[in-house]
Structure 1
Amino acid sequence: MGKFYTPKSKQRDDRYLVSVEQYKQYHRDGFLIVRGLLDSSQVAELYELAEEKRLSQLDPSKQADKNNSDPLKEEFAAATRIHMLSRVNAAAERGMLNPRIIDVTEALIGPDVYALQSMLFLNPPGKGGQGWHQDSCYIRTHPDTLVGAWIALEEVDEENGCLWVVPGSNHEPVYPPEGMGGGNVHALDAFADLHGVENVSHLDDQVNTLSKVVESYPPPIPVPMSAGDVLFFDSHLFHRSYPNRTTDRYRRAYVCHYCNARSSVPWDHDGFEGDSGNYRQILARGCTTHPYAEPAFGTEVYLTDEEEASGSVAMMGMDNGMMMPMGMKKE
């Protein structure tokens, strides 16, 4: 017999409950801003981590390489963005597995949630920024359920490099960059007119051909945020940021990615693109039939107790000849 699946997480006093309007807005526009989702102590821990990394890793003497065709390589070289701190740092793991962030993620794409990736952005004056792109171009999941959570660690505005988004572009397919390997989001040859794009993420719109698709929409909008605000955004959403134009402000942010834990993930961040990288992904909420990792630093997660949340399903006949499911307790 089949089973009912009635997901149920442990209750908490500070659980964030998503409204129906928020759910609708996210799926309509491709993003949702939850103001003040993280409290001051949670923001402070991540901000202190950002400061520690800034002081120990960032070399302000490094200048832009004008001959570099890939601006992201410069950002990595200058250590203005640091990937996967959650695998080596307890505070970073706590940030990625913050239960209130998972509460929202669970409502939007759950009930089962993998925590996949963490990125710490510093964006000092004159640096940072990333051209138009779609996150599912880089992290593929099957089914395609990827979502990002962008956590502001300080005031973020147009001057120091806030995100810009194209509302409604989440309904677009993922435009495959020419020459990028590692599989596709969509079935090959499923579209009659899905064309490839070049130089995705490049800051120059004349070079980044995804900008031509962006031009078919109303003007993009900026997303100013305050410390503790979290922007959740669909992985198909066109989004970008510009370099920090200030002379005395940073733009510190912590960005994490999640997907439904029923998805296969042929990715583990460390260069592996194979049958499955699921065993490297932390199960943050619900349950899954795939392999998964546990938090390396013991951060608490709230998983579904399958024995309590499911039972057998049988079918019973009705007087009109139709069949309906009938719940039966497992003995």
Structure 2
Amino acid sequence: MEQLGKRSGPAARLDAILRHLNPRAAPALVSLIFTLDNNILTTEQRQFYEDNGYLLIRKLVSDEDIERFRKEFVRICKKEVRVPGAMIMKNEALRSQYGQTESVVNKVQDFQENEELFRYCTLPQILKYVECFTGPNIMAMHTMLINKLPDSDKQTFLHPMHQDLHYFPFRPADRIVCSWTAMQRADENNGCLVVLPGTHTLPLRPHGYPEWEGKTNKLFHGILDYNEKSPKVHLVMEKGDTVFFHPLLIHGSGINKTSGFRKSISCHFASSDGHYIDVKNTTQADLEKEVQEIAHKKYDMPDLDLKVRLRYMCFLTIQVSLLCSASLIRQFCCLMSQLEPGRIKGAEL
């Protein structure tokens, strides 16, 4: 005979099932849309990214790797190494004073054809986090090594607050992520990243050139209706720290008020299962027009869409699509005349 308060085996199992079916028996599951199920991120990390649109991982990249990237950058500055298709941004006013050194070069963009720098995009510790946002089929594009030069109050290398999706003609946005690694300490003094937490849930805003005094770099667009009083967070980072952030997160960087440099290396990753869009009649239409004007002026190419698709290196699908910049137009023309369709020498893993 059963003791009072106890259940038989079948009855106990039925009672457990009924408790699970009762919504009051357990807290409701929260749906996370900005990360995918994985065994890398903790629940707390996934929720933080869900709420804020960025996630900072400390000491993810080793000092040894960062030193290798730094040395390669210096070789590029000295023109000891040439990077096909890369855009080398310089402060021409400093060349007469410093010559071909890192004191002149502000950025190396689209470094995919440099084997040493491209190692950053293939680091296992980077990719294991990237997959949490993009899924297993990964494309890499829009690579940059930024060397923020001393700028005092000139604002020459101040990047206005913007959303990276403005530059990308593919979707879905939620399967795109930027990996940005500090190559040395980055803080408010030397122009660290500044983010507006939670803005990744907003739509893509109209962008253009900011109305401020001083020089504005080409294609350094910012949000036109940006409110300077918006609450922001300065991401103070040490060497090797890496932040992953959503392409709709509003962010930028300040000026470098120190006498040294502030280096970072970054890459955008996206799911290769995504799709391209036609940017005509969208907030990105003016950007396409500007790219076309640059292409026509520099390379005599009057008809060009914002996207130039190349079959390129990929981690799992042997394909990556590169965004069109002025430098990539030249790369596209060069490669199409030299390489067989679907492959680029030295780019595959």
TM superposition score normalised by structure 1: 0.64
Contact 1:132 1:203 in 2 (8 A): no
Q: For residues 269-309 of structure 1, what are the alpha-carbon distances to aligned partners after superposition, in whole Å with 9 as ceiling and x for unaligned?
A: 99696496453453224x48998966743664xxxxxxxxx
What SS is found at the alignment partner of 1:128? coil
What SS is found at the alignment partner of 1:37? coil
Give how far 1:24 is off: 2.2
1:199 is aligned to 2:209: yes
Q: For residues 231-253 of structure 1, what are the alpha-carbon distances to aligned partners after superposition, in whole Å with 9 as ceiling and x for unaligned?
A: 11110011011121112x10111
Q: 1:280 to 1:161 in 2, by over 3 A?
A: farther
1:297 is aligned to 2:340: no
Identity of aligned pairs, percent? 22
Give how far 1:93 is off: 1.4
What is the distance in 1 between the residues matched to 2:181 and 2:61? Answer: 9
What SS is found at the alignment partner of 1:121? strand
1:236 aligns with one of 230, 242, 248: 248
What SS is found at the alignment partner of 1:21? helix
Contact 2:90 2:106 in 1 (8 A): no
1:139 aligns with one of 160, 168, 172: 168
Say which structure, 1 or 2, has more relative contact order (CA 8 Å, 6+ apart): 1
Q: 1:262 to 1:38 in 2, by over 3 A?
A: same
Give how far 1:41 is off: 1.6
1:149 is aligned to 2:179: yes
Look up the match of 1:18. Answer: 41
Give how far 1:266 is off: 6.5
2:232 aligns with one of 220, 227, 235: 220
**Would you tell me which structure has more helix in proportion to its own residues?**
2
Look up the match of 1:30. Answer: 53
Contact 2:180 2:264 in 1 (8 A): yes
Q: 1:134 to 1:250 in 2, by over 3 A?
A: same
Contact 2:61 2:241 in 1 (8 A): yes
User: Structure 1: which amino acid aligns with 2:172?
Assistant: P
What is the distance in 1 between the residues matched to 2:62 and 2:344? Answer: 22
1:112 is aligned to 2:137: yes
What is the distance in 1 between the residues matched to 2:189 and 2:270? Answer: 31
Structure 1, unmatched stretches of 5+, are 1-15, 64-77, 178-197, 301-331
Q: For residues 2-60 of structure 1, what are the alpha-carbon distances to aligned partners after superposition, in whole Å with 9 as ceiling and x for unaligned?
A: xxxxxxxxxxxxxx922232222122201111111111221111121222234447866
Look up the match of 1:170. Answer: 200
What SS is found at the alignment partner of 2:200? helix
| Residues 82-101 of structure 1: pairs in structure 2 closer than 5 A | 82-87=108-113, 89-101=114-126
1:121 is aligned to 2:150: no
What SS is found at the alignment partner of 1:44? helix
Structure 2, unmatched stretches of 5+, are 1-38, 80-87, 95-103, 279-290, 296-302, 323-341
TM superposition score normalised by structure 2: 0.61
1:284 is aligned to 2:315: yes
What is the distance in 1 between the residues matched to 2:307 and 2:66? Answer: 33
What is the distance in 2 between the residues matched to 1:280 and 1:288? Answer: 8
User: Of the two, which has the highest radius of gyration?
Assistant: 2
User: Structure 2: which amino acid aligns with 1:164?
Assistant: V
What SS is found at the alignment partner of 2:93? coil
Q: For residues 113-160 of structure 1, what are the alpha-carbon distances to aligned partners after superposition, in whole Å with 9 as ceiling and x for unaligned?
A: 111121111111115220011000011212233221111111111111
Look up the match of 1:72. Answer: none
Give how far 1:164 is off: 0.2
User: Structure 2: which amino acid aligns with 1:297?
Assistant: G
Contact 1:130 1:203 in 2 (8 A): no
Give how far 1:227 is off: 1.2
Contact 1:264 1:276 in 2 (8 A): no
Contact 1:172 1:236 in 2 (8 A): yes
